[in-house]
Structure 1
Amino acid sequence: MRDPHAPDLPVEQGEALERMVYKREFRERDAAIRDRDSWKFERRQDFTEKDNPSWDAFVRGDWETSLRLIEDDREAVLRANEQDALHRSFFHRARIVEKPLTPYVQWSLHSFRMQAECGQRIRIVGADALAASDRDSVLPEVVVLGGRTLYRVLYDEVGAPYGAVRYTDPEIIGNWEDYIRGLYEVGEDVRTFFDREVAHLPPPTVAAE
């Protein structure tokens, strides 16, 4: 196992962005990346999705529709992966999973499995890999785009996104890129994890908002 200690993210070195600015900037910077990979670290076990029909169906208790809507995205994910290959730039996701699975994580793993079947690079890492890093507080959600921009994504108390903090310092970015890559390398492919831990589970339920 690699060194489990996460790098620092000094608040004073980042620039706060409100949600719509972050979303627009993320799309623009992501589309411009060539010949460099990107990395995402997902730690939280509960989120509230916005603008996601499958999530909305899940919250309503319509599990079959939720899964169908995930599958409806397959062609779009395939096209996105083709673009990644064309740009020689792939997005890697290291997803921390605690047991027992939360309803959110169980739902999201169905989407991740489909994305992995389309070529997306997603691995599952057990929470024990972070024992030394988030003993006192949970680590942040972090995205590193093309080795040039780092975003700490911000969420409210119910897990709804409301913005991000942007970092451009090369040392901070490099440290976090190495950290996420290390977790990814020891992680398990989401497809084998899904087959063993998720496929047999009954539909999860979540309280309607």
Structure 2
Amino acid sequence: MLERIRQVPGEVLDHAAYHKDYARQVEDLQGVIWKLERAQTFREPGDTSWEAFMSGDWDRALRLLEADRDAVRAEARDNAKQGLRIQRVRVVEQPVTPYLQWELNALRMLAEEGFGLRVLQASCVRTLESRSRLPEIVVLGRRVLYEVRYRDDWTPCGARRIEAPDVIQAAATEIARLYESGESLLTFFEREIAPLPSPAA
């Protein structure tokens, strides 16, 4: 199912509409939000840590990530009170891209504060990619699935909103299976990412 998501009919939302719809959907949501990230580089304009990384100031990029820890901790606490869990699969190719080295530092903090994060080597999803790479997917419980969309330079530009219950259920089941077979992000980080030198943006 995951490989076929691009062929499933959906409503195209621009960046603002996607975030507005997402916020509305999660307001009273309970259960699990599943996320699957496959691409190895994105652009994050407006993110001060990403911008510091892109400018070559790695130390500042890490300091700015750490400055967000209280907000991340508060989000994790609010999610727990609401009965909401976010569980995310991050597919990683070796050697890691500079972007991914930066992102994994951000994800490490999320994992440390209680978000569910697993790493899956790209070789583990090859059998699911006979036609193309897996898409970037967010599944909100049983309500809605978003195929997150990007411009050619990998700047986020919105999503396709899919409401078909059978597609949502199948995608959630497949992402959950990948999650269970993945490695703890914290374990992967300490072994593969912590020893790396500062990346070149």
TM over 0.5: yes
1:43: Cα distance to partner? Answer: 0.3
Residues paired across the two proteins, number: 201
Structure number having the greater helix percentage: 2
1:45: Cα distance to partner? Answer: 0.3
Deviation string, structure 1 residues 103-158 (Cα, Å, up to 9, x no partner): 11100011111111111111100111111222431111000012211000001111
User: Do 1:15 and 1:165's aligned partners in 2 also have CA atoms closer than 8 Å?
Assistant: yes
Deviation string, structure 1 residues 31-82 (Cα, Å, up to 9, x no partner): 2202x11100000001001221000000010111100000001000100001
- More deviation in 127-136 or 61-70? 127-136
Please name the residue that 1:92 is paired with.
Answer: 87
Rounded to whole Å, the distance in 2 between the matches of 1:150 and 1:6 is 11
Percentage identity across paired residues of the two chains:
39
Please name the residue that 1:177 is paired with.
Answer: 172
The equivalent position to 1:29 in structure 2, one of 13, 25, 29, is 25
Deviation string, structure 1 residues 180-203 (Cα, Å, up to 9, x no partner): 100000111111100000001001
Rounded to whole Å, the distance in 2 between the matches of 1:7 and 1:131 is 11
Rounded to whole Å, the distance in 2 between the matches of 1:155 and 1:13 is 18
Q: How does 1:1-209 map to 2 (within 5 A)?
A: 6=2, 8-9=4-5, 11=7, 13-34=9-30, 36-206=31-201
Deviation string, structure 1 residues 160-189 (Cα, Å, up to 9, x no partner): 011110001100000000011000001111
What is the CA RMSD across the aligned residues, in angstroms? Answer: 1.3
User: Do 2:120 and 2:182's aligned partners in 1 also have CA atoms closer than 8 Å?
Assistant: yes
4+ aligned runs moved over 4 Å, structure 1: none
Q: TM-score, normalised by structure 2?
A: 0.96
2:117 aligned partner, one-letter code:
I
Runs of 5+ unmatched residues, structure 1: none
User: Do 1:8 and 1:172's aligned partners in 2 also have CA atoms closer than 8 Å?
Assistant: no
Distance 1:12 1:185, change over 3 A: closer
